[in-house]
Amino acid sequence: MIDTLCDRARGQNVAVACFYCDFTARKEQSPTNMLGAILRQIVGGLKEIPEGIVQAFEDQKQVIGGRGLRLPEIVRMLQTISSSRRTFICVDALDECVPEYRVKLLSSLRDILQKSPGARIFLNGRPHIRGEVERRLCGKTLSLSISPNEDDIIRYLQSRLEEDTTPEAMDDALEADILESIPESISEMCVRETIPETYLSHLLIVIYLAFCWFPSRLKKSCEKQPSLVGERSSLQSPIP
């Protein structure tokens, strides 16, 4: 999404900034640090750093040990910048943020929007925070459910198959079989909703199939080339 927005923004007076919430780094991802990181990206993209920020930086150096900006100051700076240019702010995995931090982050985003109604905010997260997001942002939210469609799964599988380091073990029939049966089984699982939300995800099943189902199918097709079976199981998936 960030890349799409950046591509579309090229050559225009547009700023795009993103933040990725991460459960493992949740303590350091305070609202001040998160919005500071957004401000940092936007300011880093300008030819010159705005004087207000340079001044604030110089002023804080007078204090022993220096000190960072406070959240309201960061919000004010973001308000100023985003009212002078089209600004996109994207936050990924909002559900991984500490709940108390999320409250502050969402209300800060609302404050930014109140001053610059043209700013665009793109958020994503698990379904359970939907109500919270819509409430905190006071009904300015369009919500959209995301699930991989069959084309996405096929594209994903094709790209993994292209990266296969032992292509000699593949034949057209096996490839066709993979591209047919995996998307099918994933769709079936989605329809039956047999996947516990917090345990397995649709694409993680691809990993399971790649590591377990796939090698076993391969064993059959590679009986004459047993040495390839072991290598096949090293097929890597990019899903974290």
Partner 1 sequence: MPQFFSDNINSFNISNSFTTVDQRSEILAWLSPLEPRLRHQDIRTRRVDDVGDWLLQTDQFRSWYDVTGEDEFDKAVLFCYGNPGVGKTYMR
Is residue 106 a contact partner of residue 132, using CB atoms and an 8 Å limit?
yes
| Identity of residue 2 | I
Closest listed residue to residue 202, CA positions, set 153, 163, 240: 153
* Distances in whole angstroms, Cα of residue 47 to Cα of each of 50, 80, 196: 9, 17, 49
CB of 178 to partner 1, least distance (A): 16
Q: How far is the CB of 54 from partner 1 (least distance, A)?
A: 5
Q: What are phi and psi of 90, to 5 degrees?
A: -115, 135
Find the part of the chain contacting partner 1 (CB under 8 A) among 124-132, 171-179, 210-218, 227-235: 124-132
Binding window for partner 1 (CB under 8 A); candidates: 22-30, 165-173, 174-182, 214-222: 22-30
- Token duo for residue 132: 């919270």
Q: How many residues in the shown chain lie near partner 1 by CB under 8 A? A: 98
Asked whether position 229 contacts partner 1 by CB under 8 A, the answer is no
Does an H or E element contain 18, and which? strand 14-20
Q: Binders of partner 1 among 2-21, rule CB under 8 A?
A: 2-4, 6, 9-16, 18-20
Determine which residue in the list 59, 70, 72, 84 makes contact with partner 1, applying CB under 8 A: 84
Q: Please give the distance of CA 29 from its chain centroid, rounded to a whole number.
A: 15
Residue 69 interacts with partner 1 (CB under 8 A): yes or no: yes
Bridge partner residues of 86 (DSSP):
14
Nearer to partner 1, 5 or 228 (CB): 5
Site for partner 1 in 136-165 (CB under 8 A): 137, 139-149, 151-152, 155-156, 159
Per CB under 8 A, the list member of 72, 99, 117, 230 interacting with partner 1 is 117
In this structure, are strands 86-92 and 14-20 parallel, antiparallel, or unpaired? parallel
Total residues belonging to the chain: 240
When asked if residue 62 is in the footprint of partner 1 (CB under 8 A), the reply is no
